[in-house]
Amino acid sequence: ATTAVTGDSLLNVCMDAKHHKTEPGPEGELYGQCVLWKDNACCTANTSLEAHQDQSYLYSFNWDHCGAMPEKCKRHFIQDTCLYECSPNLGPWIDQADSSWRKERIRDVPLCQEDCEQWWEDCQDAVTCKVNWHKGWNWTTGTNQCPKGAMCQKFKFVFPTAAALCEQIWSGSYRYTSYHRGSGRCIQMWFDPAQGNPNVAVAQYYA
């Protein structure tokens, strides 16, 4: 019976991190791309709004650290933020975090191939100076700037493959998979809420 308890405790949960609610529930007013999670969310309306700001108070993180990030690329980062902040279906991949600003993080979330490939496709001409965006920035101005000596290059040179982008940018939060959307084996960053949230079944499978 113990296993059943642990399995269930991984379902429909919010991680213990900076902006997450303690328990998931409906949010009527989720903003923009985060609206997919309004029926059951770990984020508040305010967090969902901030997820869309270029310089949001969530983490004071600046997407445009090497010049303006193209909109078609930025929407993937907004979606990634919405998934991270709002999804109650990441329980099986929640891990302890040793940082000052959160007690838990996600690790090795199996991302559907299309979501990862499209992210890479739309971002290959965006520019960055770092492979791992979780650490090593210069924060002296209050927002992330490239560390001294780091060169700004196009994503396609920093991340030569879609797998490199998805797995390295947030230090292993995601894992590239060959599973397809709708397979029930991978987490979708994008889905049609009218069809229900496909990630519920995926979390159940892995839990």
- Asked, for residue 2, whether it belongs to a domain, the answer is no
pLDDT in tens, the chain (207 residues): 334 445 678 999 999 999 999 999 999 889 999 999 999 999 999 999 999 988 777 888 999 999 999 999 999 999 999 999 999 999 999 999 878 888 999 999 999 999 999 999 999 999 999 999 999 999 999 999 999 999 999 999 999 999 999 999 999 999 999 999 999 999 999 999 999 999 999 999 999
β-bridge mates for residue 110, sequence order: 175
- Asked, for residue 1, whether it belongs to a domain, the answer is no
C-alpha span between 30 and 41 (Å, rounded): 9
How remote is the C-alpha of 151 from its chain's centroid? 25
C-alpha span between 145 and 171 (Å, rounded): 18
- The helix or strand, by DSSP H or E, that contains position 39, with its residue range, turns out to be none
Residue 183 CB coordination number (10 Å) = 16
β-bridge mates for residue 153, sequence order: 128
pLDDT for res 6: 55
C-alpha span between 152 and 29 (Å, rounded): 37
Q: What pTM does this model have? A: 0.93
Residue 139 CB coordination number (10 Å) = 10
Are 76 and 189 in contact by the 8 Å Cβ rule? The answer is yes
Domain enclosing residue 90, as ranges: 7-206
Are 205 and 197 in contact by the 8 Å Cβ rule? The answer is no
The three-class DSSP label of residue 189 is coil
Domain count, the chain: 1
β-bridge mates for residue 187, sequence order: 111
Q: What is the DSSP string of 137-166?
A: -B-TTSS-BPPTTPPPEEHHHHS-SHHHHH
